[in-house]
Amino acid sequence: MELAAAALLGVVQGLTEFLPISSSAHLILVPWLLGWEPKGLAFDVSLHVGTAVAVLVYFRADWIVLGREAVLGLLHGAPLANRRRKLAWCLVVGALPAAAAGLLLADRIEEKLRSPLVTVVTLIVFGLVLYHADRRGRRSRDVESVGWGDAVAIGLAQALALVPGVSRSGITISTGLLLGLDRPAATHFSFLLATPVIVGAGALEAAQLFAASAAIDWAVFGTGTVAAAVTGLLCIKYFLRFVRGGNFTPFVIYRICLALIVLAYYLRQF
């Protein structure tokens, strides 16, 4: 049963980390609906390591180019000489708000806001934000047009994703659309911006795990990691393909339906 739970929650993590439907909400709701006990720090780490592997592997070519351009820019004294160098530093600036919020507020948010009712509200509210952004955005800019103001705005939006139900990809894509990016550009920038945060969170949690000298069930850990990584890779691939021709309405409908189901299930307990 533990291996089955690890595989299922790994698949849930791999899908919901990158789709605009909130991984944190699903990782609260799935065990709650099934009556499972929390699996502990080691299991949480396995899921985050899996999605970190997925995003690094999928966007490895982007990061090699951006990293090389950033280094060359510093060596040549021209860090902003071309659009790729500027994009690399925009990603650094954009990642800072979420990193700071994670270090300062993650524990408090985990303690105060990790509940089904919070996810009901945030799933609906930020689903409607995504719908509005998808309908109202000009969708006229590509990813290399992102500037400092865009990076700060999208980065601040990403910090909100600490609250369960908001969705990191959902809120950053919404902000990108409102700033005029087209759907593929908003999604691509969202995933690039999420990479250092996802990798950093996985590394920090892994360090905490090993510092605590916790006993690790490597079979469960490996199952969760592999399931999240494989599912995450497939999700990124097909979601990027989908946004070239589709809109985000199906995800908005899903968020609202899920919120109403959770609310109904919650009220039945009283």
Give me the phi and psi of 244, to 5 degrees please: -65, -25
Model confidence at 218: pLDDT above 90: no
Q: What single string gives the DSSP state of each residue in 123-177?
A: HHHHHHHHHHHHHH----B-GGG--HHHHHHHHHHHHGGGSTTS-HHHHHHHHHH
Task: Identify the pLDDT of residue 158.
Answer: 95
Is the torsion defined by CA of 146, 152, 155, 156 positive or negative?
negative
**pLDDT by residue (tens digit) across 145-161?**
999 999 999 999 999 99
CB atoms within 10 A of CB 142: 13
What b/e string do you get for 192-220 counting C-beta neighbours within 10 Å, with b at 16 or more?
bbbbbbbbbbbebbbeebeeeeeebbeeb
Q: What band does 13 get if pLDDT is binned at 50, 70 and 90?
A: very high
Instruction: With beta carbons less than 8 A apart as the criterion, state whether 158 and 60 touch.
Output: no
Among residues of the chain, what percentage have pLDDT more than 70? Answer: 97
CB atoms within 10 A of CB 256: 15
Instruction: With beta carbons less than 8 A apart as the criterion, state whether 208 and 103 touch.
Output: no
Task: Identify the pLDDT of residue 81.
Answer: 92
Alpha helices (H) in the chain, listed in sequence order = 2-16, 23-34, 41-58, 60-75, 83-112, 116-136, 148-159, 168-178, 183-211, 218-243, 249-267
Task: Identify the pLDDT of residue 214.
Answer: 63
pTM above 0.85, yes or no: yes
Task: Identify the pLDDT of residue 219.
Answer: 87
Report the C-alpha gap between 3 and 225 in whole angstroms.
Answer: 11
Model confidence at 73: pLDDT above 70: yes
Domain count, the chain: 1
Q: What band does 108 get if pLDDT is binned at 50, 70 and 90?
A: confident
Task: Identify the pLDDT of residue 3.
Answer: 86
Report the C-alpha gap between 125 and 112 in whole angstroms.
Answer: 19
Task: Identify the pLDDT of residue 67.
Answer: 96
Residue 180 tokens read as 């005029």
Instruction: With beta carbons less than 8 A apart as the criterion, state whether 189 and 176 touch.
Output: yes
Q: What band does 256 get if pLDDT is binned at 50, 70 and 90?
A: very high
CA dist 211 → 41, 103, 245, 252 (Å): 12, 17, 46, 40
Model confidence at 25: pLDDT above 90: no
Which region, left, alpha or beta, applies to residue 35 given φ > 0 means left and ψ of -120 to 50 means alpha?
left
123: CB partners within 8 A, 6+ apart: 21, 22, 25, 165, 255, 256, 258, 259, 262
CA dist 267 → 32, 164, 262 (Å): 14, 20, 9
Query: Residue holding tokens 């009556």?
Result: 35
Q: What band does 1 get if pLDDT is binned at 50, 70 and 90?
A: low
Residues spanned by the domain of 234:
2-267
